[in-house]
Every structure is written in C-alpha cells, then in structure tokens.
Amino acid sequence: MQERVIEKAAQLLESGACARVLGWKTGEFFYDVTPAVFTSAQQVRQEMVFSPFCGANLSKYLIAESRKEGKVGVFLKPCDSFSFVQLQKEHRILRENVYAVGVQCQGMSDIEALKALGLRGITAVQAEEDRLTVSTLYGEKTVALEEALSLRCRSCKSRALHDCDELIGDQGRDLDTDRFGEVARLEAMSPEERFAFWRSQLSKCIRCNACRNVCPACSCEKCVFDDPNSGVQNKAAADPFEEDLFHIIRAFHVAGRCTDCGECTRVCPQHIPLHLLNRKLIKDMNALYGPYQAGSDFDSKPPMLTFTQEDPEASIITEGRGIQ
C-alpha cells in the first residue's frame, strides 16, 4: 500500500496534474507521523510515508490549500472522506481545485495501543496486510493489526470512500460495529458517577486546544474561545468550570456536523476520550431526529438546521423520561 501511495503522489506531481500534494511524513519518531505538503516528486520519494500511524485526517488542510493557486492532490482514508464531503457541504472546500485519492484503510494503530499489548522498547513497525511486525530492543514480534488498533478504529463506522476521483484499494462499505456501547455504559451510571467520570477525565485537560485545531468540523475562522472579551481565560487549570465549558461548547458547536472521525481523541495529549461527548450527541440526534450520518451524502439536511412540528420537548430530559 505504501509503495502505491508514494508512487501515485510522485506521479501527480511529475505529470503536473497537481501543484501540491497533501500526505504524511514521519515526525520526530517513526510513530509520530504528521501531515505534510509535498511540492516535488523527489521530496515525496524521500519523505512521504503511509503506515498504520497515518491517523491524521487531511481534509481540514484543504480549506486553506484548495484556495491557493494550482490543484492540490490529497490522500483520504474512509473517515477523512466523510469530513471531505461534510466540508464541501458547508462550502469550505473548493472542490474543483482538489484531486482526491481515496486510500482504503484496515484501521490505524498507535503507539499507545502497542504499548498496551506489553511491547516495550519499540524501534520499528512494519505492516503487511493484517499483521504488524514490531521490532523491539528485545527482539521481533508479530501482532495482528486488529489487536493493535487505536481506540477510535475499534468502533469504525464505515470503510466507504466518498467523493474520490480515484481509489487505491477497493471501495469499502459501512460497518456494523458497536459505536455507542461506551456511551450507553456511561448513560447507565448514576449522575454522581457520570459527574465523577467526566471530572476525572476533563480535569486532565491542559487546554492545549489540539482537539479544536485538529477537528475538521471545528473550522470557524473566528472562534468563541479566541475572543479576549469572552471572559474565558484559555489557560490550563484555570477553574473546573472552564474545562467543562470548553468541552461542552466544543462538542455542542459541532453537533450535527461531526462525522465521528475521532481525531479529537487521537490528538489529545492527556488521553481524554473526547469522542464520547460527540458520540453522545450523535446517538441522541439519531434517536430523536432520525438516523443521520454527517458527510455521507450531499443532500441530507443536518438535524440541527431543520425541525419538525412533532419534535420531542426538552422535558423528556429534564423530567428524566429519557430518550426512547
């Protein structure tokens, strides 16, 4: 897969079809893969990678890149392609300036998942089909990719590639995984337990804003949290209230637009399961206003931008009747 991706990127640049290509390159460590813009085939052959650590969703970079001169090539995994469609729906991406190459994905791994398997001193990881060969200081070990999946990929919603000009690998389909199991487990707790759970998670927040900056849905040019008059200090551990405020508003502002790509959880340096907030909203909207998947098509109306006269009243929550 890696060879085909790199060859395609080099070909796009050599043929002049694209002026720039968005892909991934290795950061400080081999597992620390970061998005990058390539401008020459030589650069692509030297630096570009496509490994099980390429979790980063490239679609958000298209907001800026598609407005620059010349065409931009981009590699999209299935979950990235949902964001790609959603951003087009919001008129944020100039589609005519983008050449999208869909890359089929078997699920992404991350270093935390490998460490959780008891592997220490990892020096390199080689991927073949559905297995990872992990070289460590203590020898080589083979693990199934399925065991080493990152948290979000364990409940992958779909492997369908949307709106791509070309595919590498086959067109996938929607998967039937238990996406809302963890949310349901939290819902079954008492309010005290839920409060304790979220306090223990959100109190770890260092307000680095990575979850906001990486989120393809959270792409306003002006953000409420950047307003110096907002009264929000934007600092770590200012007050428990500010942690709650930030995460409630962050999740709520992307309600109905979140494609559930899980980038927020992937980038969180404190390992806060932020996707559980977004998934709760998705679960509720599905139950209250009918099934909706952001970014799966161009025509459906987002639930928060429409209404029906028969919508349930807020009292179903406040009187504790619950969402059926």
Partner 1 sequence: MQMNQEFKPTIVAFCCNWCSYAGADLSGTNRLQYPANVKIIRIPCSCRLNPMFILRAFQRGADGVILCGCHPGDCHYTTGNYYARRRMTLLFSLLDYMGIERQRTRVEWVSAAEGAKFAATMNDFVDTITKLGPNRRLEDLRCKSE
Binding site for partner 1 (CB under 8 A): 183, 186-187, 191-199, 224, 231, 238-239, 241-242, 244-245, 248-249, 251-252, 255, 277, 280-281, 284-285, 288-289, 303-304, 307-309, 311-318, 320, 323
Residue 56 half-sphere exposure toward CB, CA atoms < 13 A:
24
CB of 319 to partner 1, least distance (A): 8
CB of 183 to partner 1, least distance (A): 8
Q: How much is the CA Rg of the chain, to the nearest whole Å?
A: 21
User: 76: part of which helix (H) or strand (E)?
Assistant: strand 72-76
Measured from the CB atom, is 291 or 312 closer to partner 1?
312
Task: Give the count of beta carbons closer than 10 Å to the beta carbon of residue 224.
Answer: 12
Measured from the CB atom, is 199 or 271 closer to partner 1?
199
Dmax (CA) of the chain: 65
Measured from the CB atom, is 163 or 182 closer to partner 1?
182
Measured from the CB atom, is 112 or 193 closer to partner 1?
193
Cross-strand partners of 214? none
CB of 261 to partner 1, least distance (A): 19
User: 124: part of which helix (H) or strand (E)?
Assistant: strand 122-128
d(CA 215, CA 56): 10
CB of 258 to partner 1, least distance (A): 12
Closest CA to 264 of 222, 213, 199, 207: 213
Measured from the CB atom, is 118 or 231 closer to partner 1?
231
CB of 314 to partner 1, least distance (A): 4
